Amino acid sequence: MLTVVWVDELDGQTIAEVRELLLAAREVDGRPDLGPGEELPGEFRTGPHLLARSDGTLAGYAHLDPGGDAFGRQVAELIVRPDHRRRGVGTEMVSALVERAAGAPLRVWAHGDHPGAAALAGRTGFTRARELLVMRTEVDPAWPEPRLPESVALRTFVPGQDEQAVIEVNARAFDWHPEQGRLTVEDLRAEEAEDWFDADGFFLAEDGTGKLLGFHWTKVHPANPRRFGGRETGEVYVVGVDPGAQGGGLGKALTLAGLRYLRDRGLPQVILYVEGDNAPAIAVYTRLGFTRHEVDVQYER
């Protein structure tokens, strides 16, 4: 018997059940990523949560962000335990998500563009709305020194000093983006508290007056046995350039600064995420050696 219920908070036992389900999915799908010692991914730490149980076993889990993205769409993550797939669990959970959204636009992530997710979307009236590409490259010993525009200098991020300036540039650079443009100072400070945060890998570009023009924030992922060859992986986490400073090569220079830093840390490979319809960015990354590796999809209803 399948039961599907919403809860606003997860207790300790349920957190352990959800974590076990996520790890089981990761063994098959390579997703989701879980840091060492991390109970749940950050986006799953607040409710509401949807729990699907089959004869007492947690067969599926979904998380809904009712605050949604920057354009008012509610966004959900949905994961079915691998040994309970093709049994109607996903269909029941999608119905519960649609009901909870109460007619508001709803998007659901399918990480890795799983064919089962495509089939589920088709059965439940969702259409493919967004592609987020994962591009990857081996580190290149020939990555050149960044060539900065005249009177522009690079330095690294100083916690407690640079948050406001970064957020202001980020908001202008990503006013079109469903998630990134909503980053706040509080969000940034929360990221600084994470074990992976590395101020030395967070590069800022300033003009001669000290005004921030752009930044490149890098990240390092521990080895995932089901993803990227099971090797530790660097990431071009965010490259943001103020619109007034775009077009002069600053984005490429910032990208190279971060790539060289990740290479010098001894990482064997680097990934990045880029919108599938952002042709100029994809062209820049392709010239730097990146190739398409995976795709994440949002389905919309």
- DSSP characters over 38-70: -SS-GGGSSS-EEEEEETTEEEEEEEEETT-ST
Instruction: Dig out the tokens for 176 from the structure.
Output: 């079109």
pLDDT of amino acid 210: 96
pTM: 0.90
All domains of the chain in start order, with CATH: 2-125 (3.40.630.30), 135-295 (3.40.630.30)
Is 211 known to sit in a ligand binding site?
no
Is 241 known to sit in a ligand binding site?
yes
Is 90 known to sit in a ligand binding site?
yes
pLDDT of amino acid 162: 98
CA–CA dist 253, 246 (Å, integer): 12
pLDDT of amino acid 41: 85
pLDDT of amino acid 224: 84
CA–CA dist 34, 286 (Å, integer): 28
Is 67 known to sit in a ligand binding site?
no
Parts of the chain with a pLDDT under 70 = 35-36
- List, in order, residues 6 or more apart from 19 with CB less than 8 Å away: 34, 39, 40
How remote is the C-alpha of 198 from its chain's centroid? 17
Is 39 known to sit in a ligand binding site?
no
